[in-house]
């Protein structure tokens, strides 16, 4: 087998692109003893499970630090990794933590749900203890007061273009009670050079702590990714189109974003009313100043995508339509209804990216209110778009019905924003959707009665929908882990527009059984995806 450098797809010896399948499973959803999934034995065990199941892709969503609403799509940095994913057992093996320290901390009462409040307190307490032990290990080496490992120096030099600002930002954020940078004292908010230098000098240890976390994150993730790649598994990660308002990127970005006369954000991002939200979605992210990006040859975007390609094998760009037209909402609005469409950079951006980085292994999240110009941009880019089966059965011959899927696309039963198939069938699908789906999937006669539709069990519909996804003409099929497990609403990762209660689901220990891997491989082999 060989890999197509332009698409990331595997080809057979005849050069024909092979149909692939994968599983959507956030790292946070892995089981483990410390409140959240991480880069430990469970991650490697899941890679083994994927390989046994004949899968070629692990979609993990963003690895970014979680921000507002515990969302990885509202991160404090477009470049940093989430410290929660650092494997504490690996730190223990390095002599930086003890079993007693780990046992003493609370990690949440429910092993099937992330308790972010508890996690924030216990995780950072433990990580600070590990940092203190690491610093002590480095004392007096080579005649220096403190000499860090060569790998650390290499990491900081390789990443200094974002790491220095990030570590300073997090130290300042800590010193200011974790408030948004827009609420900091004026000299820090406006990045007064003298004030920042004094702060650096007085807070060297705190700044060092945040660098240490990124060093450990990067080293551990590199091992997990290498292990996956050795097993023939590609990592599919996410790039949120926007950065968070409360982020180092926004703090240092200046002309990268639309600013008002006072240096505040003039307009913010969101999307208009749609399937998910009657008032639209008010994300609150700062909007890009696209003319400035054009003047700089899209240098910041090149830097961002180059960094992401060092972390992932494949990139899903969230809210792809924002590169064509984007919903601009006046700052201070309480809903997204008052926004208006503006024209984005379109192909000019992707030409710049490919000129600097070569062909891009990008999947475009082209969902929502899609107009002809977005379809034209997708076609011109050559990127595969997404087909979601939960959107297919509202009536008419729509593009999400399996017989309308094109090869250059990725099919999902549902995304991280959708609920599970079982919950969709039982609680979310309308009677019209259930009737059409049941008939389309040959679960009932072509003109079923209400009683015949009602008799279709959720699990029966789930299996039929999974087979429809796997049998699609789409080159790639990605199945959320919760759907393979037949779970309900508890495995719904994110409800757009809802603050709190998202990103909490964790799989039960031992979920990735040999029997389930065999079942998945068998289903995929029937339609030539394994």
SS3 labels along 119-161: HHHHHHHHHHHHHHHHHHHCECHHHCCECCCHHHHHHHHHCHH
pLDDT of residue 105: 96
248: pLDDT strictly greater than 50: yes
List the beta strands (DSSP E) in 290-348: 314-317, 325-330, 340-343
446 token code pair: 């072509």
Closest to 321 measured CA to CA, from 373, 358, 357: 373
1: pLDDT strictly greater than 60: no
pLDDT of residue 9: 58
Within a domain: 405: no
- 288: alpha, beta or left? (left if phi > 0; alpha if psi -120 to 50): beta
Choose, from 313, 417, 433, 483, the residue flagged as catalytic: 417
483 is catalytic: no
pLDDT in tens, 104-131: 999 999 999 999 999 999 999 999 999 9
List of residues 6+ apart from 403 with CB closer than 8 A: none
Rounded Cα distance, 407 and 388, in Å: 14
Rounded Cα distance, 100 and 278, in Å: 50
Q: Model confidence at 8, in pLDDT bands (50, 70, 90)?
A: low
Residue reference for tokens 């201070």:
332
Rounded Cα distance, 107 and 182, in Å: 31
Within a domain: 88: yes
Q: Model confidence at 276, in pLDDT bands (50, 70, 90)?
A: low
- pTM (global) more than 0.85: yes
- 154: alpha, beta or left? (left if phi > 0; alpha if psi -120 to 50): alpha
Within a domain: 144: yes
Query: Do residues 257 and 289 lie in contact, with contact meaning Cβ atoms separated by under 8 Å?
Result: yes
151: pLDDT strictly greater than 90: yes
The gap between the terminal CA atoms of the chain, to the nearest Å, is: 13
List of residues 6+ apart from 482 with CB closer than 8 A: 420, 491, 492, 493, 505
Within a domain: 44: yes
Question: What is the residue range of 186's domain?
Answer: 28-56+84-221
Torsion of CA 100, 511, 54, 518, to 10 degrees: 130
Q: What is the mean pLDDT of the chain?
A: 94
274 is catalytic: no
254: pLDDT strictly greater than 60: yes
Rounded Cα distance, 288 and 369, in Å: 21
Find the helix packing angle between 458-470 and 514-526, rounded to 10°: 60
pLDDT in tens, 10-29: 554 444 457 999 999 999 99
pLDDT of residue 496: 81
Number of domains making up the chain = 1
81: pLDDT strictly greater than 70: yes
Rounded Cα distance, 91 and 270, in Å: 40
Q: CB 5: neighbour CB atoms within 10 A? A: 10
Within a domain: 164: yes
260 is catalytic: no
Closest to 268 measured CA to CA, from 332, 317, 319: 332
3-state secondary structure of 252: helix
Within a domain: 253: no
2: pLDDT strictly greater than 50: no
Element (H, E) at 387: strand 385-388
Rounded Cα distance, 27 and 37, in Å: 5
Q: Model confidence at 69, in pLDDT bands (50, 70, 90)?
A: confident
Choose, from 105, 318, 342, 489, the residue flagged as catalytic: 318
Rounded Cα distance, 132 and 144, in Å: 17
Choose, from 20, 42, 324, 365, the residue flagged as catalytic: 365
């Amino acid at each position: 087998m060989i890999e197509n450098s332009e698409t990331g797809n595997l080809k057979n010896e005849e050069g024909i692109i092979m149909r692939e399948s994968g599983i959507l499973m956030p790292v946070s959803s892995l089981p483990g003893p410390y409140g959240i999934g991480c880069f430990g034995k469970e991650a490697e065990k899941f890679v083994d499970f994927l390989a046994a199941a004949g899968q070629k892709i692990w979609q993990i969503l963003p690895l970014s630090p979680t921000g507002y609403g515990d969302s990885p799509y509202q991160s404090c940095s477009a470049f940093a990794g989430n410290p929660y994913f650092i494997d504490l057992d690996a730190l223990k093996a390095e002599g930086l933590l003890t079993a007693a320290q780990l046992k003493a901390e609370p990690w949440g009462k429910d092993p099937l749900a992330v308790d972010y409040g508890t996690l924030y307190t216990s995780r950072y307490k433990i990580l600070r203890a590990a940092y203190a032990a690491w610093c002590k290990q480095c004392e007096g080496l080579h005649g220096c007061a403190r000499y860090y490992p060569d790998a650390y120096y290499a990491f900081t030099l390789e990443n200094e273009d974002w790491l220095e600002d990030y570590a300073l930002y997090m130290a300042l954020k800590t010193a200011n009670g974790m408030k948004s940078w827009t609420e900091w004292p004026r000299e820090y908010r406006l990045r007064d050079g003298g004030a920042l230098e004094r702060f650096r000098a007085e807070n060297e240890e705190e700044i060092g702590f945040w660098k240490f976390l990124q060093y450990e994150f990067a080293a551990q993730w590199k091992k997990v990714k290498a292990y996956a790649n050795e097993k023939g598994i590609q990592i599919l990660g996410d790039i949120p189109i926007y950065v968070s308002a409360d982020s180092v990127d926004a703090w240092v970005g200046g002309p990268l974003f639309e600013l008002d006369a006072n240096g505040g954000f003039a307009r913010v991002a969101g999307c208009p009313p749609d399937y998910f939200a009657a008032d639209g979605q008010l994300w609150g992210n700062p909007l890009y100043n696209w003319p400035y990006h054009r003047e700089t040859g899209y240098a910041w975007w090149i830097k961002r995508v180059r960094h992401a390609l060092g972390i992932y094998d494949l990139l899903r760009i969230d809210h792809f339509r924002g590169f064509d037209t984007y919903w601009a909402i006046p700052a201070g609005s309480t809903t997204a209804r008052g926004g208006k469409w503006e024209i984005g950079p379109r192909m000019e951006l992707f030409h710049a990216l490919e000129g600097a980085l070569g062909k891009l292994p990008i999947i475009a999240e082209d969902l929502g209110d899609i107009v002809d110009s977005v379809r034209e941009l997708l076609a011109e880019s050559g990127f595969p778009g997404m087909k979601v089966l939960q959107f297919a059965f509202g009536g008419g011959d729509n593009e999400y019905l399996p017989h309308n899927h094109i090869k250059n696309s990725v099919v999902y039963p549902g995304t991280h924003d959708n609920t599970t198939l079982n919950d969709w069938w039982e609680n979310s699908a309308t009677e019209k959707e259930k009737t059409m789906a049941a008939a389309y999937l040959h679960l009932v006669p072509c003109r079923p009665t209400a009683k015949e539709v009602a008799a279709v069990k959720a699990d029966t519909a789930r299996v039929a929908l999974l087979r429809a996804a796997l049998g699609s003409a789409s080159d790639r099929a990605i199945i959320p882990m919760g759907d393979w497990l037949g779970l309900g609403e508890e495995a719904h990762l994110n409800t757009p527009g809802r603050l709190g209660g998202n990103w909490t689901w964790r799989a039960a220990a031992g979920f990735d059984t040999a029997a389930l891997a065999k079942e998945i491989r068998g289903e995929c082999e029937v339609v030539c995806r394994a």
